[in-house]
Structure 1
Amino acid sequence: MNRPLRVTVVTTAGILGGAELWLLSLLDATDRLDVDAVMLGEGPLDEQFRRRGVPCVTRATGRTAAAVAASAVSLARRLRASPPDVVLANGIKAACVCAPAAWLTGVRCVWAKHDYSHPRLMKFLATLTDNCVATAEGLALASRHPRAVLVPFPAPEGTALSREAAREDLVRRGVRLRDGHDERLLLTVSRLVSNKGVDDAIEALAKPGGERWRLAVVGGEAPTEPGEQSRLSKLAADLGVVNRVDFTGWIQDAWRIIPGADAVAVLTKPTPAEPYPEGFGAVALEAMRSAVPVITTPGPVADRVAEPGAAQAGIAVPPGDSTEVGLALGRLTDRDTRVAMGSVGHRLTASHPGPAECAGRLVQVLSEAARLPGAGLTGTAPVSVVTTVLNAADVIDGLLGPLVPQLVADGDEIVVVDGGSTDGTADRVEAWTSKDARIRLLRLPGSGISAGRNAGVQAAGNSLIACTDAGCYPDPDWLDRLRAAAAEPVPADLITGVYRVDGHGALAGAMSAVGYPVPEEARHPGPWTRVYCRLFGRGLDATMPTGRSVAFSRAAWQDAGGFPEHLRTSEDVLFGRAVVGAGHRAVLASSAEVRWEQRPTLRQAAAMYFRYGEGGGRSANPRLVGRDMARVLAYGTALTAVVTGPRARSVATTAFAAYVSLPLTRAVRRRHWAALPLVPVAAVVRDLAKAAGAGRGLVCRMRSDGAAADGPDADGPR
């Protein structure tokens, strides 16, 4: 019923650095993703993907703009041929390839930010990507992305080796630990690149304080700096400490052997090639959890390890200063100092999230970016479905018929609020209640939609509420999709579903194309769709729900003050804005779909839009009223242009063509050929009817406010 999320992962390189290990640990901790991968460089990551059953291709990509552009074009072809639900760009370079390719092909893109490199690209990437996950709080801020979410490197799952077992393992890997000697072990775990400061650790062994220390260098060479191990070995030989430096190569799950060390060094420093601080020190986290003190340079790692004025889990040293590293080693020669700092580190990291929690955060970001919250989940929360009816005898069976099979045996219910029907609607509902006790009828004569919904929510027995309307036809999995979205690790309090507008005849097809976006535009918006919706505001918006397909928590309903009962229309949109304004989060669930039929005649459609506009005007909501007034201004400008001259007419014609371009595209996609010539007419009727309604609503609002101000109680109770 609810398949895993299809994700294409693009990685910056094929190496096994921190960003890649972060990704692999999270993929291992979830079954909610169906992943394929594209690597922008060769390396051992390919084998790691294949061991996990992840299809992987490599497209070697250089550092030049031309190479990145070529890979973006190649990726765009791949995405167009087989579009996933979402793309995850793991790193800056991957984002530079993914962001334009995904934007052009209509695939949602999430950028994973691991470091502080290339700050000039931040605004560009933040504009083209839908969401961002950052592995440290500082990185989230540096991304400049309005929707950046923290997904840290997880704490390792499992138990590290004991000190004795870890040291035995290190000896097997070539570390020359000598029994009976008063020698301490310093550990570095990183790729062998110059900015990691391994050379500073080697030099520190020859400085005051470092005489009684041995260094174990864990990690392999990177393709970008071949020969780095030879350089480091020569440095050790030149300094006369070669007998106290051992290279183990890369170790799978190196965190397990950290307890064998007496200290861990994270000595990242600026270099011409990498002038940026460490994004987040996973090695430092792993050391602190193992109660091993950390020597580190300034940056996010030092902020956590050696916070000024607080108990410290290690020692901060200036970057590139091997003398200070030696002095730090001198301090840590004392066992009591090491134990004290280790206990602080263990305490500070005790509550750090593990792989399952971090994977849950990542999958939630990916699924919400794809507009498919709850993908891969089966929700279990009971739901109360609230619907209001008035003289709906001819359509109520069409609503309850598809809904009842979606109810679970225990807990779910349908609350039908009748506003005083005179056509037998209540009798039809009672016929359903006699067959199924999970359906309840609440009679509330004279109530409008808002009052009816509020009464239904008040009477509902569950904290998760879903709403739809008579005249809608929910898909067979509509309720399950809403329930699954509410099962996310951090569920949103407002889950905005979608609807697909049907109709009979050319006019209905034209009106539906003009007035309503389709779910596919939310999941896979092309470039013009994104631009069009931003310009004209006709896209699906999680903060502006419709009562036809929505779910929310009781707490959100209470904090929003319920549905505004003074409005006959636009009450659902204002409710959504109030929920968000109260501090609650909203998500769009593009798979929670209902069908609804467009009004069959032009007069009925115009009357409906007039009521919509009137509701917006009565609400005095700047966003709703502003859009309608902007359209009035646009039409007035166009009419002026018509009589001004040929150039102005040409500009106005081009602008109107752009305005109706997306509705025309919708009609073409639906093969509503007869509706195509009616789309411009439908657009004009819709806009003017809404604008007229908004004007009337504003006037009524001002009269109502004026009457209240002039009334006998204008100055307060007497």
Structure 2
Amino acid sequence: MREKNPLVSVVVPVYNVEPYVAECLDSVLAQTYRNIEVVVVDDGSTDGSPAICDQFANKDHRFKVVHKTNGGLSSARNAGLAESRGEWIAFVDSDDYVSPVFVEALLSAALSMNCEIAAIPMGRVFSEKGPCDLVRSLVEVPVATPLQTRDVQRLMLYQALDTGAPWRLYSRHGVLPEDSPFPEGLYYEDLATVYKMVARAEHVALVDCPSLYAYRWRKASIIRQNYRPIKADSSIVVSRQLYADICAWYPDLADAAASRCFSVNRMVYAQVPADQHAERARLWAELVKYRRVVAADPCARKRERLAATIACLGEGPFRAFCAACRRAGLLR
């Protein structure tokens, strides 16, 4: 029987976010659910972030700060998990912030419905400069809906539910592996990881309330950074593994997996500079695998179906389409 007041560990990876980290940690400090520990992982920051993190540890015993050499987001999350003790785990990115009832709402949903994961569709997006209004009370949060694992996978593959790790509360013993779950040395770690966690759950409690989490849109984020070869490396490795796993676990979701794999490789392809022909060729080979399936799939996102249809005409038209999307800021 599960505890009625279990310890929840909130893992916050931090890297050079001095303008934002205090707002993030203040929002975690303000949680209405009090039985939490906050594991803050300073991933080798070179700005004033470490000192701010230490200040929170000095004023509240529930905060623990881990200082480590820089290893990337996956490395920081894995380090935070290793230091955590909670029966339940939440991830909050240090440039974002959360509603005061974020933990309470998700934990209540998970426990009341006996689910190993509670999730929101995604966070509420706001710009770097603008504020974001979040729910302040549980009465503003809708009742959760229990979904079967396969249905959650389908929604994530078709991008009706985001794959971001911070949108969820996870049962440590129910869905988290004992070793480090996030792949180090790769981008798109959430896409590579969350579907595996969901696969270990029987049901997911979906709380349709994006206003529990404020997701800051930043030009400096990995998705919007200029192209680097690691992006192609990562999208290819992650999408191949995702496709193989989904087809093995849920054969009827093969088309949905093709849609998601096409999407991540399309996004990266659109960022490759025109003179990097070898990089484009690598990604184009991946897109060719999925283009006809996605173009014919009525369940795929309209943008993916359009992109896949154009890809069926050849790389030239597809390249022009991607350039237009890039200029319009529509890579995702």
Q: Structure 1-normalised TM-score?
A: 0.30
Within the candidate set 559, 568, 574, 2:192 is matched to: 574
Within the candidate set 116, 122, 132, 1:493 is matched to: 116
Within the candidate set 194, 210, 213, 1:594 is matched to: 213
Would the alpha carbon gap of residues 394 and 607 (structure 1) be closer, same or farther in structure 2, given more than 3 Å must change? same
- Equivalent residue number for residue 443 of structure 1: 67
Q: Supply the distance in 1 between the matched residues of 2:221 and 2:81 (Cα, whole angstroms).
A: 35
- Equivalent residue number for residue 311 of structure 2: 636
- Alpha carbons 2:72, 2:184 under 8 Å: kept: no
The equivalences for 1:111-150 within 5 A come to none
Would the alpha carbon gap of residues 556 and 453 (structure 1) be closer, same or farther in structure 2, given more than 3 Å must change? farther
Please list the CA deviations of residues 96-148 of structure 1 after superposition, one character each: whole Å capped at 9, or x if unmatched: xxxxxxxxxxxxxxxxxxxxxxxxxxxxxxxxxxxxxxxxxxxxxxxxxxxxx
- Equivalent residue number for residue 418 of structure 1: 42
The equivalences for 1:117-516 within 5 A come to 380-406=5-31, 408-409=33-34, 411-490=35-114, 492-497=115-120, 498-503=122-127
Runs of 4+ in 1 over 6 A off after TM superposition: 533-536, 601-604, 608-613, 639-642, 677-680
Q: Supply the distance in 2 between the matched residues of 1:425 and 1:534 (Cα, whole angstroms).
A: 36
Q: How much has 1:421 moved relative to structure 2?
A: 0.9
Q: Supply the distance in 1 between the matched residues of 2:156 and 2:51 (Cα, whole angstroms).
A: 47
Q: Supply the distance in 2 between the matched residues of 1:637 and 1:472 (Cα, whole angstroms).
A: 39
- Equivalent residue number for residue 269 of structure 2: none
- Equivalent residue number for residue 247 of structure 2: none
- Equivalent residue number for residue 547 of structure 1: 165
Q: Which amino acid aligns with 1:540?
A: L
Q: Supply the distance in 2 between the matched residues of 1:408 and 1:602 (Cα, whole angstroms).
A: 30
Q: Which amino acid aligns with 1:625?
A: C
Q: Supply the distance in 2 between the matched residues of 1:435 and 1:472 (Cα, whole angstroms).
A: 21
Q: Which amino acid aligns with 2:20?
A: V
Work out the percentage of aligned pairs sharing the same amino acid: 20
Higher RCO (CA < 8 A, seq sep 6+): 2
- Equivalent residue number for residue 224 of structure 2: 605
Equivalent position SS for 2:78: helix
Q: Which amino acid aligns with 1:599?
A: R
Would the alpha carbon gap of residues 424 and 557 (structure 1) be closer, same or farther in structure 2, given more than 3 Å must change? farther
Asked whether 1:563 is paired with 2:187, we answer no
Q: Supply the distance in 1 between the matched residues of 2:179 and 2:190 (Cα, whole angstroms).
A: 12
- Equivalent residue number for residue 682 of structure 1: 329
- Alpha carbons 1:496, 1:546 under 8 Å: kept: no
Which runs of 5 or more residues in structure 1 are unaligned? 1-378, 506-518, 524-532, 643-655, 657-676, 688-718
Would the alpha carbon gap of residues 481 and 445 (structure 1) be closer, same or farther in structure 2, given more than 3 Å must change? same
Q: How much has 1:602 moved relative to structure 2?
A: 11
Q: How much has 1:589 moved relative to structure 2?
A: 2.5
Would the alpha carbon gap of residues 561 and 383 (structure 1) be closer, same or farther in structure 2, given more than 3 Å must change? same
After superposition, the CA RMSD in angstroms is 3.9
Would the alpha carbon gap of residues 610 and 387 (structure 1) be closer, same or farther in structure 2, given more than 3 Å must change? farther
Asked whether 1:625 is paired with 2:246, we answer no
Q: How much has 1:500 moved relative to structure 2?
A: 1.2
- Alpha carbons 2:8, 2:36 under 8 Å: kept: yes
Asked whether 1:538 is paired with 2:159, we answer yes
- Alpha carbons 1:433, 1:439 under 8 Å: kept: yes
Q: Which amino acid aligns with 1:596?
A: Y
Q: Structure 2-normalised TM-score?
A: 0.62
Would the alpha carbon gap of residues 536 and 564 (structure 1) be closer, same or farther in structure 2, given more than 3 Å must change? closer
Equivalent position SS for 1:487: helix
Q: Supply the distance in 2 between the matched residues of 1:584 and 1:609 (Cα, whole angstroms).
A: 38
Number of aligned residue pairs: give it: 246
